[in-house]
Every structure is written in C-alpha cells, then in structure tokens.
A and B are shown apart, each in its own frame.
Chain A
C-alpha cells in the first residue's frame, strides 16, 4: 500500500523568496515519486519525477526535488518564486506493479505575494 502526506494545505511566499513544499510518502516497494502542478480549471501537469538514480531531480520552471529515502521525503523547492508559480501542487507516488494507479497527496496551494 502507498500513501502521500503533504504538509501544509496552503503556503504563501513573497515574490523572489524560496519556495518549499513538503511531501512525505509511504510505500512497501521502491517508489516512483512525482510532483504535479494544477492551474485553475486545468488538468495536472508533471513538474518532475524520481524513478531511479540521482536523488536530486530537476524539473520544469526552475523546480527541483530531492528524494531522501531515510526520511521518506520528496520535498519540492524553487530558489526564487515568481507570480506565475501560484497554483496547486500535488505530490504523488506509484509503483511499477501499479503504474497506472498513482496515489496523490491532498495538494498544497501556493500563493505568491508581490
């Protein structure tokens, strides 16, 4: 069984500030981990993913995340927030045996203040 916990349903940062969105996961098998972003009235778009190999993964729009197995975490960061980053972010986990069935966290709404 797999689960995802996103700490903080709402995060607010100032433009230019560091963005940190937290995600912890639980998985009985080696996980595949993802961050997706959703803009209003749209579907989800993949930001980045961890499958195997390098634990620091870089994604689109300047986002990156680090897989820490010992902490079962996959936190999303961006050094400098931009107004266009305001959206809802979802962390997700899947396993090779159920690759079409991802388990999503509850989402974190990011607000960027001017």
Chain B
C-alpha cells in the first residue's frame, strides 16, 4: 500500500507570494490533517479534513486554508507569505472508524522557505 505522498518536497518563495501544497493520503483513509513544524514552535496542528469538510482547526491566521477533494486528496494554501511561514509542512492521514484511535500516518513533508 502506498504511503502518504506530499508534493512538492521543497520550494522557495518570496514574501507576499502564495503557495499551494498537495497531499495524497493512504488509500482508504478519509481523514487528512496538516501540521506545521518549526524549530521554535515544534509541531503545530493546522487543520483536519474529513469527507471534504473541515472537522478541526488549529490556531492559525486566515492566510492558512485548506480543502479536501472527493478522492480524499487535500491541498493547503498559504497566502501573503511571511518569513515566519518558513517551515516543514506535514500531512498525515488516518483511518477513521470505531474506535478512532487517532493514529496518524505522515508524509515526508513539504519544506517551504520564504525569502
């Protein structure tokens, strides 16, 4: 079974630009979560999508948005990039059901550098 796939793996943007990151979950997984990882803040939860609906949201500004498609693939977008947005963005999928233990399967991440 293929793992979680994130594209692109690396990208460089300048302040003020926007970026879109893509995540393909493991086949059969309907929940997709996004996390931001930085040396100073660690792993911060951005949002979670399930069945094309945002189910949970972290404490990030509105410049961070996401969506999920009917095939469970997800994208996140960051508009008006700031230097502080430089981070590793991790996508994780999970198999929802009962009991829902919350075990996450992570992709390798998209490393964003904002200049």
A residues near B, CB below 8 A? Answer: 32, 34, 36, 41-46, 49, 51-52, 90, 92, 94-96, 98-107
| Listed residue (A49, A101, A102, A103) with the most chain B CB atoms within 10 angstroms of its CB | A101
B residues near A, CB below 8 A? Answer: 4, 31-33, 35, 42-43, 45, 48, 50, 55-56, 58, 90, 92, 94, 96, 99-109, 111
| B104/A46 in contact, CB under 8 A | yes
Instruction: Give 6 closest A-B pairs by Cβ, nearest first.
Output: A94-B102, A43-B106, A100-B48, A99-B102, A99-B100, A104-B43
| A49/B42 in contact, CB under 8 A | no
- In the complex, chain A residues whose CB is within 8 Å of the CB of B100: 96, 99
| B96/A99 in contact, CB under 8 A | yes
Given contacts A32-B102, A49-B103, contact A101 B56 (CB under 8 A): yes
Secondary structure dominating the interface of B: strand
**CA gap between A105 and B41 in the complex, in Å:** 10
Some 12 contacts from A to B, beta carbons below 8 A apart, are: A36-B104, A44-B92, A44-B104, A92-B104, A94-B101, A96-B99, A96-B100, A99-B102, A100-B33, A100-B55, A100-B94, A101-B45
**CA gap between A94 and B58 in the complex, in Å:** 14
| A43/B94 in contact, CB under 8 A | no
Given contacts A44-B90, A99-B96, A101-B56, contact A51 B45 (CB under 8 A): no
**CA gap between A51 and B102 in the complex, in Å:** 9
| A101/B48 in contact, CB under 8 A | yes
**CA gap between A104 and B55 in the complex, in Å:** 19
**CA gap between A49 and B45 in the complex, in Å:** 19
| A32/B101 in contact, CB under 8 A | yes
How near does chain B come to A35, taking the closest CB pair, in angstroms?
Answer: 11
